[in-house]
Chain A
Amino acid sequence: MRTTVIVAALLLTAVSAQAQTAQEIVAGADKVRNPGQPFRSTDTLTEYVSGQPRNQDVLVVFSKENPTSHQFRNLVRYVAPARDEGKIVLLDGSSLWFYDPSSKASVRISAQQRLIGQAAIGDILTVNLAVDYTGTVLGSESIQDAEHASRQCWHLDLKAANDQATYARVEYWVEHGTDNPIKAKFYSDSGKVLKILYYRKFADRLGAMRPTEAVIIDAVDSSLATIVAFGDYRFQEIPESWFQRDYLPRLTVE
């Protein structure tokens, strides 16, 4: 009986340590995806239908961590296609605004509405998962990355920890040792897989090895996929005053 109690105590301790480790792993992967200081990138999004490229959008994304919430805030400006040029989306926690230069109107949008359109992709890719999700380690797995190379990964199960989390649950694979994010699966409240995400083409960017491409597969309609190429990474001073609706008409990209 005494042995049983000891083993149970050890197990509880192990589980607790593993949970703590899970957050550290997720935070480590967040650091691989997002530099620790404000930056800007130019994201080229290519939409695929049944394996064929159909459409291409270019977004310039300005990202800066909120010192209070530790979550990234994004200003996303459309550069292409021409019909959307100059449209801007401010994504700052629950403060979400859309600005259309044609109508000069800044409209507040809901968390659900931000998912319509490609700007949401720029936002989702900078989310600090360690902030919005609570993780547990399901185990260690060998998994093939997007380029069919085997990677030894932590398999993590992330549950939404606050109402800012876009998805109810995320399955996440993070490579041992490097903390490189390899794959993620995003689930709805009802447990349905909505998106499958692969990171690939890791290269030296802004002082660290970071993914330069993401592949996002629509799990609901698997004929749809988007490849996001992160380009023109650069650190950039981003004043706090940019994160308000009045600044949106002033945001320019050169």
Chain B
Amino acid sequence: MRRAALALLLGVIALATQPARADENSDLDLIPSTAPPAPPPAGTVTAGAGQRLYVENAFTAASHRALLVPLPPPASPNWEERLFFDARKEWRLGDNVRAIYSGRLNLRAEDTLPIPNHENIRHDFREGYLSWQAAPQTFLDFGRINLKSGVAAGFNPTDFFKTRSVVEPLSSDPAVLREDRLGTLMLRGQQLWEHVGVTAAFAPKLYDPSLIYTNTSLPSFDPMLDRTNAHDRFLLKADANLAENFSPELLFYREGNATRWGANLTESIGQSIVAYGEWSGGSRASLIDDALRYGRTTGTIPANAPSALPENARKSFQNTLSLGASYTVAQITFNLEYHYDQAAFSRQDWRNWFRIGSANAANHAITNQLWYLRSYAADQQEPISKQTAFLRADWVDAFISKLELTALTSVDLYDGSAFGQVTADYYLSNQWTIGALASANLGTKRSDFGSLPQAASVMVKLARYF
């Protein structure tokens, strides 16, 4: 027994002084022998920080279908060619002051747009503001600012400044929609504490509500503040890190004389899942009544024209909700969400829309009004249908390195119709990206997505970053 114990002790000592296993040093063969390119000098490495400049060319071809309810002009283009220069840049004007510009200069042509035309060249002035750090944790910003709120991926009920802000999107991916949207002229203040942040913003009314823009009525160099500053708007929001995994955000929003409340919550579940919920609520009329009132105010719908669909101008407390979760496995992240908009079309509203529209296909006053309801919802970035499901998958380094695939679908839960889109981006180098996008509206002629004029579209693009 004594001998055995001694042997055990010697074994431990031997273990403690053994040479490395032979295969350990063989790992050295996996180290690249080519030296990396020299890093930029410390002083210049961040010189490019605060700006992103790129040129992109995108060509889109679309196919259309016969409609149950005829669409008013202008017709959707069959093809579109866009070349644009996109810039986002910051300048430091002093120790505590920065100037920020963000915009896009477009050259565009499409089959429904005569050439030459003032709309062949357009500028989207997304942002332009001054930011002053008044104290280490106090910030004041003034100018055109893109103020985004919300935690969901597909639809953000608390993103109150999203209305009318999106200009000519190249993709229906909500992540891309937000990239080319106009900011609102506002004064914004923000105070940060150790675990709490409070933001207040006021945007004044500068214009009366204006007509909904179409692809053939966009101005060339007008900042289109009428889209973003047609009401006095005030937002107060606060979030707090109450625990490591719990940081709710509460919002109070006032537009004209209407008030909305909002809340955002996120929660990590295990290593791979983040659950989130986003809610807003307030007294308002239905989407149909809001749209009709807006159409009558702006003159699109004659003031005395009767509503094609049953009206109910009575306001009530209406909820808007986005509930979902992200799940990451390997290099793929999925977002699955349920969207609910109490003010949007119910199943009965859809039945009415198709019944009245098909029965009055030759009556443009009625069909124009029916389509106006839908263009109003799109302009407001609001779901047309009460209940929608959304699924998005983003796959980084899909099949091969530097290929990113994104697929998304939005499904109307009343009729099962869907919008689907697949995007592929290949990063040829740090400067060049080539990509393609295919999308389709799927469903029967009497369905939400199946009744849209565009059946499918394909886009190819090439971008050069500087």
Contact = CB atoms under 8 A, between A and B. Distances in A.
Interface of A: 1, 3-4, 7-8, 10-11, 14, 42, 44, 46, 48-49, 51-56, 58, 60, 77, 79-83, 85-86, 92-96, 100-113, 116-117, 137-144, 146, 148, 155, 163, 183, 196, 198, 215, 217, 222, 224-225, 227, 229, 231-232, 239-241, 244-247, 250, 252-254
A113 B328 contact: yes
A46 to B, nearest CB: 4
Interface string B322-338: 00001111010100000
Q: Which of A3, A80, A96 has the most CB of B within 10 A?
A: A80
B239 A245 contact: yes
24 contacts: A42-B39, A55-B429, A60-B49, A82-B53, A82-B465, A92-B244, A94-B244, A101-B52, A103-B176, A105-B178, A107-B153, A110-B274, A112-B272, A116-B331, A144-B28, A215-B31, A224-B401, A225-B31, A232-B45, A240-B195, A241-B137, A246-B190, A250-B139, A254-B49
A86 B465 CA distance: 14
B5 interface: yes
B51 interface: yes
Given A14-B12, A217-B31, A241-B193, A1 B45 contact: no
Contacts, number: 243
Contact of A104 (B19, B148, B466): B148
B32 interface: yes
Contacts of B326: 109-110, 113
B1 A1 contact: yes
Contact of B328 (A11, A112, A250): A112
A254 B150 CA distance: 29
A82 B88 contact: no
B9 A116 contact: no
A81 B146 CA distance: 24
Nearest to B335: A107
B16 A232 contact: no
A42 B45 contact: yes
Nearest to A198: B31
Interface size class of chain B, counting residues whose CB lies under 8 Å from the partner chain: 35 or more
B178 A103 contact: yes
B271 A163 contact: yes
B427 interface: yes
The 7 closest A-B pairs by CB, nearest first: A246-B197, A81-B430, A46-B36, A82-B465, A103-B178, A44-B39, A104-B148
Contacts of B137: 239, 241
Contacts of A105: 148, 150, 175, 178
Given A105-B178, A112-B271, A83 B30 contact: no
B50 interface: yes
A142 B20 contact: yes
Contacts of A108: 151, 266, 268, 274, 276
Contacts of A140: 16-18
Residue of A108, A116, A146 with most partner-chain B CB within 10 A: A108
Interface in B264-293: 266, 268, 270-274, 276
Nearest to A141: B20
A92 B146 CA distance: 26
B20 A86 contact: no
B16 A56 contact: no
Contacts of A10: 9
B15 interface: yes
Interface string B47-65: 0111111100000000000
Contact of A110 (B90, B273, B427): B273
A239 B136 contact: yes
Contacts of A93: 244
A79 B268 contact: no
Given A46-B36, A231-B45, A142 B88 contact: no
Interface string B110-140: 0000000000000000000000010011010
Nearest to A54: B401
A154 to B, nearest CB: 9
A250 B197 CA distance: 12
Contact of B430 (A82, A117, A244): A82
A98 B31 CA distance: 31
A187 to B, nearest CB: 14
Nearest to B15: A139
A163 B244 CA distance: 13
Contacts of B266: 108
A33 to B, nearest CB: 19
A86 B37 contact: no
A95 B13 CA distance: 44
